[in-house]
Structure 1
Amino acid sequence: MSQVQQSMALLISAFHKYSGKEGDKTTLSKGELKDLLNAELGDVMGKNTDQAKVDKIFKDLDANADGSVDFQEYVTLVACLTMMCNEFFTKK
């Protein structure tokens, strides 16, 4: 697989590692999202121990306001973080 294909597979794998622990396998609950953020993105976003901060991130990600974060909403977060990292590293 190419590097891009490997990256896509890792994104999918990371989502499904956390989704479904509290119910629906195709979405992330607030608790599942918190676990994913801390374990997979803690170095970029910082550890999210403040529940109000997690609530805000969850609300911002839940674009369709259905009370869960689906794969598209998760990928939007990763894409935005990737763009921010790219800007940071290309400015150095």
Structure 2
Amino acid sequence: MSKLETAMDTLISVFHTYSEREGDKEKLSKRELKDLLQNELGEFLETQKDASSVDKIMKELDENGDGEVDFQEFVILVASLTVACNSFLSENS
């Protein structure tokens, strides 16, 4: 697989590693999202320091208002963080 195909495969795999822990296997509950953010994006997000940050992220991502984050909503988070990281790295190089 190419690097991009590997990245896509990894993104799908990470999502399902957490979404399959409880409830709907195709969506992240608040607890699953919190675990994913802390374990997989801890370097980019400081969720541990602000107890309400997961609530804020959940509210922003949950476009359909069902209280869960589906794969499409999750990809929006990853894409937004990727754009922010690219901008930060471009400014600091």
Given the two structures, how large is their TM-score scaled by the length of structure 2? 0.93
Q: Is the 8 A contact 2:47 2:53 kept in 1?
A: no
Q: CA deviation at 1:51?
A: 3.4
Gaps of 5+ in 2: none
49 and 17 in structure 1: CA distance in 2 versus 1, 3 angstrom threshold: farther
Conservation of the 8 A alpha-carbon contact between 2:19 and 2:29: yes
CA–CA distance in structure 2, aligned partners of residues 18 and 70 of structure 1 = 11
- For 1:51, what is the secondary structure of its paired residue? coil
Q: In percent, how many aligned pairs have the same letter?
A: 55
2:48 corresponds to 1:48: yes
Distance 1:3 1:20 in 2: 26
Distance change in 2, residues 1:49/1:74 (3 Å): same
Higher-helix-fraction structure: 1
Deviation at 1:54, TM superposition (A): 1.0
Distance of 2:68 and 2:90 partners within structure 1: 34
**Structure 1 stretch displaced more, 41-50 or 12-21:** 41-50
Amino acid at match of 2:72: Q
Q: Residue deviations 1:27-76, cap 9 Å, x none?
A: 00000000000000001112435432211111111011011100000000
Partner of 1:71: 71
Q: Residue 60 of structure 2 aligns to which amino acid in structure 1?
A: D
Q: Which runs of 5+ in 1 are unaligned?
A: none
Residue type of the partner of 2:64? N
